[in-house]
């Protein structure tokens, strides 16, 4: 997020882990303004059900901007049922090209249990390597921890919870109040 537009807002930590035939998306609940925690129980992981097919989304950045993007994604999924990749690419195109959308400050992790994508305002739709994706201020910490834990016998949810705990111990903009959604492939 650019400092000239936002007065010290810091993101969050969202982590997705694919293991054992399921994908777990976990997000912390902290919202910070500068050095002050404004809220500790925000829900930044949501389940959408466009056309009856579940999609789990996690977001980092501005909440209002993320909700705008989630609404757009839901419309894209309704017009292309069962085609998450197409809907994500269409959203990324709109996000980059549309005068209004291009100013939105957020990132998304999106999954339908089969595919897993990170979507950015730069027009990126990325499939993560190593079955782990993370975004937000504590994303690199959670990503590193999860990648290390993927080699253990822990199931996806425990990998996500432990990695998020490690990120919360390191990143002051991440707390341990998690929202966790699991979706099977």
Pairing of strands 132-136, 125-126: unpaired
Residue showing tokens 């709109």: 94
Could you give the CA distance from residue 82 to residue 59 in angstroms, rounded to a whole number? 21
Residue showing tokens 């996000």: 95
The active-site residue, picked from 12, 13, 111, 174, is 12
What is the 8-class DSSP label of residue 151?
Answer: T
- The H or E element spanning position 96 is helix 84-97
Q: What is the distance of C-alpha 53 from the center of its chain? A: 18
111 is catalytic: no
Q: Give the residue numbers marked as catalytic.
A: 12
């Amino acid at each position: 997020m650019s400092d000239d537009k936002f007065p010290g807002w810091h993101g969050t930590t969202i982590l997705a882990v694919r293991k054992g035939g399921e994908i777990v998306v976990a997000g912390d609940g902290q919202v910070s303004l500068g050095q002050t925690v404004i809220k500790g129980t925000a829900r930044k992981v949501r389940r959408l059900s466009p056309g009856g097919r579940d999609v789990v989304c996690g977001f980092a950045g501005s909440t209002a901007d993320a909700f705008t993007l989630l609404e757009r994604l839901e419309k894209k999924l309704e017009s292309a049922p069962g085609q998450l990749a197409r809907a994500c690419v269409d959203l990324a195109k709109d996000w980059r090209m549309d005068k209004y959308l291009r100013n939105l400050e957020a990132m998304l992790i999106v999954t339908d249990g089969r595919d897993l994508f990170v979507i950015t305002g730069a027009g990126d739709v990325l499939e993560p390597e190593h079955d782990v994706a993370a975004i937000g201020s504590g994303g690199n910490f959670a990503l590193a921890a999860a990648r290390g834990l993927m080699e253990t016998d822990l199931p996806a949810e425990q990998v996500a919870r432990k990695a998020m705990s490690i990120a919360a111990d390191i990143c002051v903009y991440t707390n341990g109040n998690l929202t966790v959604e699991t979706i099977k492939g």
